[in-house]
């Protein structure tokens, strides 16, 4: 396909007419057209979803077969929601509605109880499959046990677990009662877990005795005991024998209950779903905590269901019997996003372990075996896969794969090339962006429109997303701030134990009644979105605004560089770019490599992108979910304290940074 406009590049992928015709999105557009609004393109549909927001979200409810009482009121004008005090901004959706999250996720079990609901595999090679009936039976048993421990609507249940079937079961049992689920992954240290769970006072804690990662076994029984002792709100703790060590009572003490013993103590007898308000709390997620105590972000039942159904079915074309895989941990909002795929009748394909151990083919072997239709991962994984020189298409046909989602950081144009040259020629590559803040996406893909190299396809339906300059003026083909100008159901209810002030300062303080997300972006002429990084870590040498992703895109391609991180050092009222690099095995940061880095950036970007200082680190500092911690590195470089080292996956890397606080400039 040739683009008729010479100012636009040709798309890197165009959906076939059959793909468009069979998509949920096309069927949704036909459904809207029947109601009287003639819509022929995604751009028209998006504009309609903004102009007629009540009609749009009502259509989502009906098209996606949401289970529950809808009520007669779609948008409660002037009604403040939970935890907010600005009625003009924080209006509530479906104020009369009553529904249950778990009931919606388990609805498909009535249609095909013997189909596979969960396909699980871990690094040890263990594999399990649960049918929908198996899943419902175990949720029923766990629900009875939670009731026995006094869990009811509004209580908090916590999971300190890997992504495995038991985690999904515990969450579904919790939310079936109208209770609130919160989780984090077992690689978090004791203090970090207590800092999170200690704010929300869980009544029950689920944990496991250990896990495997990258060929190593980690025993965490002592961490579990320390966490339980530090949470006085706990009534009971359930420990899962994930390492298959045949737990005895002496291993976990009288305070811990054993998962297998619970399953043997009750008989499945159906699940009672407690329907609660659309705007009642469902999940508590946590900010990274790298700049202070983690914020406890509260998400609603109805907002989560509607948003995830919209994103899965319309944007990712998830259909019943699809196999949806996402590589994630329980400490990342993509876990919540992944498990919601059950509500669309899809099978959850789950992997626990390192995505590169014992070799780079592990996830693709699983994708082939499980016939994955949607493969979800991070941009960093695709970059690492490309550097490993492993080509999935040379080993696997991936016949079932329709969609590949990437998130977590900027997906560079070179990774677009890699996906289409080395994974699959005909796949919908959807670079998606949003966050923990909304447990969903502001920008993502759609299966009926072209994909352009280096661009997210566009704003999500129902989201009035655009780009503002520093004065709050909308700009196109110019870098600025990602904002959203309208209300949407999955806005967070607020922060736990907050009067609204912290919530307002986090998202609403920069532009009047407009959500400011903190991403440095550019909207293209055809509605795509190019990401440059976080706006709070944007570099500004000589007054020229530079996104860190521009530097990483070029530097990380060099064969000597495994990873990198760039920050600004204040010098005489200006900024110098300081680049830290992690080298590949055998590489040396000598004058030749430094000059190669500088020359690459000078030619491919500009002289302003060239770092004044380049240093080697053994590891690049990152959060537990693999995100670069640029702000923490900048703080250390300027001699400031990082307020929450527990949020950093490898805090020793920051100690390496500290030695360059007063290092003379090259």
DSSP-derived 3-state class of residue 438: coil
Tokens of 452: 């352009």
Rg of the chain over Cα atoms, rounded to whole angstroms, equals 24
Nearest to 182 by CA among 208, 165, 164, 201: 201
Residue 658 has pLDDT above 50, yes or no: yes
DSSP characters over 395-417: T---TT--EEEEESS---HHHHH
What integer pLDDT is reported at residue 78 of this predicted model?
A: 57
Contact 158, 613 (CB under 8 A): no
Separation of alpha carbons 534 and 189, rounded Å: 26
- Condensed to tens digits (0 to 9), the pLDDT of residues 453-505 reads 999 999 999 999 999 998 999 999 999 999 999 999 999 999 999 888 888 88
CA 221 to mean position of chain CA atoms: 28
Q: What is the pLDDT of residue 374?
A: 98
Integer CA distances (angstroms), 450 to 29, 102, 432, 458, 522, in order: 17, 35, 15, 11, 18
Beta strands in 353-485 (DSSP E): 374-378, 403-407, 428-431, 433-435, 440-444, 458-459, 465-468, 479-484
- Give the integer Cα–Cα distance in Å for 108 and 85: 38
Grade residue 252 by pLDDT with cuts at 50, 70 and 90.
very low
**Cα–Cα distance for residue pair 438/33, rounded to 1 Å:** 29
At residue 340, φ and ψ (nearest 5 deg) are -65, -15
Tens digits of per-residue pLDDT, 110-131? 999 999 999 999 999 999 999 9
pLDDT in tens, 81-111: 655 556 556 678 999 999 999 999 999 999 9
pLDDT at 64: 97
Pairwise CA distance, residues 448 & 446, whole Å? 6
Q: Is 394 exposed, middle or buried (0-12, 13-18, 19+ CB in 10 A)?
A: exposed
Cα gap 572→562, rounded to integer Å: 32
Residue 665 scores a pLDDT above 80: no
Kindly give, in sequence order, each residue whose CB lies less than 8 Å from that of residue 402, ignoring residues fewer than 6 positions away: 19, 317, 322, 373, 374, 427, 428, 447
Q: Is residue 347 left, alpha or beta, with left meaning phi > 0 and alpha meaning psi from -120 to 50? A: beta
Q: Residue 255: pLDDT band by 50, 70, 90 thresholds?
A: low
Instruction: Provide the pLDDT for residue 599.
Output: 93
Region 247-270: mean pLDDT is 76
Position 661 scores a pLDDT of: 87
pTM metric for this prediction: 0.88
DSSP structure class, residue 498: -
Q: What CA–CA distances, in Å, run from 292 to 199, 248, 636, 648?
A: 14, 39, 14, 12
CA distances to 240, 258, 585 from 251, rounded to whole Å, are 12, 10, 41
- What are the pLDDT digits (tens) for 66-85? 999 999 999 886 565 655 55
- What per-residue confidence (pLDDT) applies to 4? 39
pLDDT at residue 666 is higher than 60: no
How would residue 436 be classed by pLDDT, with cut points 50, 70 and 90?
very high
């Amino acid at each position: 396909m040739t683009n008729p406009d010479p100012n636009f590049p040709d798309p890197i992928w165009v959906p076939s007419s059959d793909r468009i015709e069979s998509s949920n999105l096309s069927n949704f557009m036909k459904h809207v057209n029947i109601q009287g609004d003639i819509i022929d393109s995604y751009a028209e549909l998006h504009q309609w979803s903004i102009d007629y927001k009540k009609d749009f979200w009502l259509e989502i409810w009906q098209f996606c077969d949401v289970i529950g009482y809808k009520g007669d009121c779609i948008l409660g004008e002037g009604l403040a929601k939970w935890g907010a005090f600005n009625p003009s901004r924080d209006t509530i959706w479906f104020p009369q509605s009553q529904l249950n999250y778990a009931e919606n996720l388990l609805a498909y079990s009535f249609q095909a109880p013997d189909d596979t609901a969960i396909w699980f595999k871990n690094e040890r090679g263990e594999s399990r499959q649960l049918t929908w009936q198996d899943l419902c039976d175990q949720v029923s048993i766990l629900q009875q046990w939670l009731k026995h421990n006094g869990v009811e609507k509004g209580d908090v249940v916590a999971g300190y677990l890997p992504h495995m079937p038991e985690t999904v079961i515990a969450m579904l049992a919790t939310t079936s009662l109208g209770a609130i689920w919160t989780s984090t992954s077992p690689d978090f240290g004791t203090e970090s877990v207590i800092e999170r769970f200690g704010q929300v006072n869980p009544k029950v804690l689920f944990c496991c005795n250990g896990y495997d990662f990258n060929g190593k076994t980690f025993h965490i029984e002592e961490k579990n005991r320390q966490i339980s002792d530090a949470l006085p709100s706990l009534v009971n703790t359930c420990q899962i024998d994930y390492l298959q060590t045949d737990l005895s009572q002496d291993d976990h003490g009288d305070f811990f209950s054993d998962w297998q013993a619970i399953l043997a103590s009750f008989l499945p007898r159906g699940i009672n779903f407690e329907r609660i308000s659309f705007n009642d709390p469902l999940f508590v997620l946590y900010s990274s905590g790298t700049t202070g105590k983690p914020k406890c972000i509260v998400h609603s039942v109805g907002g989560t269901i509607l948003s995830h159904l919209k994103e899965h079915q319309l944007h990712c074309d998830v259909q019943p019997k699809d196999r949806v895989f996402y590589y994630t941990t329980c400490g990342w909002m993509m876990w919540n996003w992944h498990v919601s795929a059950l509500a669309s009748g899809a099978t959850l394909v789950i992997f626990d372990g390192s995505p590169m151990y014992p070799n780079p083919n592990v996830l693709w072997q699983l994708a082939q075996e499980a016939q994955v239709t949607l493969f979800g991962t991070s941009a960093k994984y695709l970059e690492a896969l490309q550097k490993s020189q492993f080509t999935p298409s040379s080993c696997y046909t991936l016949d079932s794969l329709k969609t590949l989602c990437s998130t977590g950081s900027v997906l560079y144009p070179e990774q677009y090339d890699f996906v289409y040259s080395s994974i699959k020629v005909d796949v919908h590559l959807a670079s998606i962006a949003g966050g923990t803040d909304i447990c969903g996406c502001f920008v993502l893909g759609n299966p009926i429109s072209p994909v352009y190299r280096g661009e997210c396809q566009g704003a999500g339906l129902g989201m009035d997303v655009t780009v503002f300059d520093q004065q709050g003026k909308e700009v196109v083909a110019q870098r600025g701030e990602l904002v959203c100008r309208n209300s949407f159901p999955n806005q967070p209810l607020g922060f736990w134990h907050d009067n609204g002030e912290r919530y307002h300062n986090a998202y609403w303080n920069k532009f009047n009644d407009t959500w400011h997300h903190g991403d440095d972006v550019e909207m293209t002429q055809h509605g795509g979105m190019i990401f440059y990084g976080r706006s709070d870590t944007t570099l500004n040498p000589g007054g020229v605004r530079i996104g860190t992703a521009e530097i990483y895109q070029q530097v990380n391609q060099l064969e000597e560089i495994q990873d990198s991180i760039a920050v600004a050092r204040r010098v005489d009222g200006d900024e110098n770019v300081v680049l830290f690099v992690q080298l590949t095995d055998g590489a040396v940061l000598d004058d030749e490599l430094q000059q190669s880095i500088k020359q690459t950036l000078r030619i491919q970007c500009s002289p302003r992108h060239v770092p004044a200082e380049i240093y080697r680190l053994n590891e690049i500092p990152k959060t537990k979910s693999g995100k670069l911690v640029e702000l923490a590195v900048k703080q250390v470089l300027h001699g400031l304290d990082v307020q929450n080292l527990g949020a950093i996956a490898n805090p020793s890397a920051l100690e390496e940074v500290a030695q360059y606080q007063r290092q003379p400039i090259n």
